[in-house]
Amino acid sequence: MASHRKSRTPGTRVAGIRTPALATAALTSVALLSQTATAAPSDDGRPSLEEVEKKVDDLYRQAESATEKYNAAKEKTAKQRKQVDTLLDDVAKRTQKLNEARAELGSFAAAQYRTGAGVPDTATFLLADTPQDIFDQRQVMDRMTGRQKEAVDDYVTRQSETMKKRQEATESLETLTDTQGDLKTAKATVQKKLTDARELMSKLTAEEKARLAAIEKEKQKEAARKAAELAEQQKAQEAAAAQQDSGTSGSASGSAGSATTPSTSTDSSYAAKAEKALAFARAQIGKPYVWGATGPGSYDCSGLTQAAWKAAGVTVPRTTYDQVNAGTTVPVSQARPGDLVFFYDDVTHVGIYIGNGMMIHAPKPGTYVREESIYYDGESSIHSVVRPA
């Protein structure tokens, strides 16, 4: 995503690196450049460069939010379609069984007619050739009556179950129709926001576009500085942890030997999976961002992270809203390669951490999968870091 300035409340921000003085000094150049590049609204009512930049950024954010809603509706539609198809298949099978039960009842009715089951006992006696015929006929009818009752009960049960399943199928179809409506609305919203953003950018002069590019370049420098700062902090933490582990293992070697602890085993397992996920993500660099795409030729942000972890044998949900809850939340300072980094209060963007304050992500429409600082939109934009496996 491009730069977005939505503020975060201190209580919801994850633990990260805090160097206010350095950050303020570094950002001063960005602010000054932004001021010099920003012109006041012209007499003809045109918005200032700053207003255009903010509006475009907001539109891209809204488009990505709508994209995640589209992804959720699409996934829900697929599940409901599968459920409806299963119900319809079940109804068809039950209907076939019901028809068979109905046919059996018809055969009993025909048998009664043929054997004279409805004829009075006196008439049956008079019409029988021998007393043995009367006895045999009544034995057959007694057995037939028991089978008839069983057939009737079976028919009534099947009829009730079939009607219930038909009702379930009808309700599921109605729900599917509603979800398809949500899907259509989300798609239209994405397209509208992207169109509006393109129209705003198309109205900028070449000079204004150059100024925006200069501002963006300064922001990238600041983001790279913050990433390097995080990398140094993490290296210091790793060195301290390694030294502590070395001291602990040395003191325990006499009694415990060189046994691997459960924690070490777990870390190794995660690292192996993360390596596979990152290898996949790196192979996608250069492919275009396309909203709603899950590969292999293009991706949106959550489609990329889902596909990367799938390559490592780990299933994560489709949308950012669900992915953020699919693992263990850790502080930014403790982020490890493979972790998912989420952005903004509404959790509408995600990238996969590769170490040294950097990530691989699919930024926004018009861009390509790339490596970038996790501070690309400022420290306040980071929502959380989640370890999915």
Q: How far apart are CA 245 and CA 335, in angstroms?
A: 19
CA distance 63 to 65: 5
Partnered with residue 299 across adjacent β-strands are: 289, 294
- CA dist 364 and 289 (Å) reads 6
Q: Known catalytic residue: 348?
A: no
Helix (H) / strand (E) element for 247: namely: helix 206-256
Q: Where are the alpha helices (H) located in 260-333, listed in sequence order? A: 262-283, 301-311, 320-323
Residues 34, 40, 42, 46, CA torsion sign: positive
In the block, tokens 């070697």 appear at 253
- Out of 349, 364, 383, 387, the active site residue is 349
Tell me if residue 384 is catalytic: no
Residues 6+ apart with CB under 8 A from 323: 302, 305, 306, 316, 317, 340, 342, 350, 386, 388
Q: Which of 389, 96, 367, 371 is nearest to 271 (CA)?
A: 389
Q: How far is CA 322 from the centre of its chain?
A: 6
The whole-angstrom separation of Cα 164 and Cα 287 is 49
How far apart (Å, rounded) are the C-alpha atoms in residues 335 and 227? 12
- Please identify which of the residues 301, 341, 354, 369 carries the catalytic annotation: 301
Distance (Å, whole) CA 211 – CA 208:
5
Joined tokens for residue 211: 């100024």
**361 catalytically annotated:** yes
| Residue of 193, 361, 364, 383 marked catalytic | 361
Query: Are residues 332 and 385 in contact, defined by beta-carbon separation less than 8 angstroms?
Result: yes
SS3 content of the chain, % helix, strand, coil (to 5): 65, 10, 25
Q: In 3-state terms, what secondary structure has residue 3?
A: coil
By annotation, the residues acting in catalysis are 301, 349, 361
